[in-house]
Amino acid sequence: MTWQQWLTQAAARLRDSLSPSAKRDAEILLAQVTGATRTRLLAFGETPLTDAQCATLETLLARRERGEPVAYLIGEREFWSLRLRVSPDTLIPRPDTECLVQRSLALLPPARAEVLDLGTGSGAIALALASERPAWRITGVDRSPGAVALARDNAARLGLTNVQFHESDWFKALQAQRYSLIVSNPPYIEADDPHLAQGDVRFEPRSALVAGEDGLKDLAAICREAGPHLLPGGWLLLEHGWRQGPAVRALLAEAGFDHTATLRDYGDNERVSQGQRLPEGK
């Protein structure tokens, strides 16, 4: 079987399994197994597959037909132009989270700053910030040992030395260190949300997705506990669900934050809310 023949058959099978990106999924799997670029796959479609490659591709294709995310199948996902390793220990980084990175970069100057990423997962947010701001010192924490190990591996592979990762359940393992900016993409999905039974999220860690019956449990905890860990004038920046903007702004205001606002994502949905800890007496 040639590369082109396999692509045609694989795309047809994935379309039958209702994959939303059948052709692209097939190309990614074939590139992973052959080591060829997408351009080479298309230009040299007559290249024959070996028996070993066919067997590996069949295994991967069957898993994708069952709905397993492509990122888990190949062990990588691109975020902020960085190639990150991912695993079932972590969420798969999504493009809308780049909006949180963009806002973080806009809030603080490039000069030295201490930044904390809560629930870092694969390290996507922390590593994106580290790659853009060499003078910043960034700490990422996660309660999952597997996630912390993966984030450390990603940092080492990318050669980023201005970021470190530790195990912590939100702020619990942190000392008296205070930060100019705290960012987080915490769990924010409601326990009975029907989307939990659809698409990639079926395979992602539920503990990184669901936060209480209303989806606000972890967002509320972070808002309550962040103040003592922020320098005067420091910012808290939170990703949340597209309908949670008003609730998160209320949580920030209740916790004493000022200059609260919500920014929209690439789909024009409310996605990232911010609040500032004002200096004493202001």
Does the annotation place 268 within a ligand binding site?
no
Are the CB atoms for 6 and 49 separated by under 8 Å? yes
User: In this model, does residue 257 exceed pLDDT 70?
Assistant: yes
Same domain, 29 and 107: no
User: In this model, does residue 123 exceed pLDDT 90?
Assistant: yes
Same domain, 12 and 114: no
Same domain, 113 and 50: no
Does the annotation place 123 within a ligand binding site?
yes
3-state DSSP call for residue 105?
helix
Instruction: Provide the domain limits for residue 31.
Output: 3-67
pLDDT digits (tens, 9 = 90+) for 124-180: 999 999 999 999 999 999 999 999 999 999 999 999 999 999 999 999 999 888 999
Cβ–Cβ contacts within 10 Å for residue 145, how many? 10
Q: Supply the pLDDT for residue 282.
A: 56
Task: Give ∠ CA 206-274-245 in degrees, rounded to 5.
Answer: 60
Same domain, 230 and 181: yes
Does the annotation place 119 within a ligand binding site?
yes
Q: What is the mean pLDDT of residues 24-49?
A: 92
CATH number of the domain encompassing residue 27: 1.10.8.10
Q: Supply the pLDDT for residue 211.
A: 76
Helix axis angle, 22-34 relative to 51-65, nearest 10°? Answer: 140
Same domain, 131 and 262: yes
Does the annotation place 121 within a ligand binding site?
yes
Does the annotation place 185 within a ligand binding site?
yes
Does the annotation place 187 within a ligand binding site?
yes
Same domain, 12 and 125: no
Q: What does DSSP say about strands 179-184 and 163-167: parallel, antiparallel, or unpaired? A: unpaired
Same domain, 8 and 100: no
pLDDT digits (tens, 9 = 90+) for 140-153: 999 999 999 999 99
Does the annotation place 56 within a ligand binding site?
no
Q: What is the mean pLDDT of residues 37-48?
A: 91
Same domain, 95 and 60: no
Does the annotation place 218 within a ligand binding site?
no
Does the annotation place 245 within a ligand binding site?
no
pLDDT digits (tens, 9 = 90+) for 191-230: 767 767 677 777 777 777 777 778 899 999 999 999 999 9
CATH number of the domain encompassing residue 101: 3.40.50.150
3-state DSSP call for residue 167?
strand
Backbone angles phi, psi at 164, to 5 degrees: -135, 155
Residues 6+ apart with CB under 8 A from 233: 180, 276, 277, 278, 279
Model confidence at 280, pLDDT cuts 50, 70, 90, reads: low
Does the annotation place 45 within a ligand binding site?
no
Structure tokens at 149: 């190990």
Residue 129 to residues 8, 105, 110, Cα–Cα distance (Å): 40, 7, 10
In a domain, 123, yes or no: yes
Tell me the whole-structure pTM to 2 decimals: 0.88
Does the annotation place 139 within a ligand binding site?
no
In a domain, 60, yes or no: yes
Same domain, 60 and 167: no
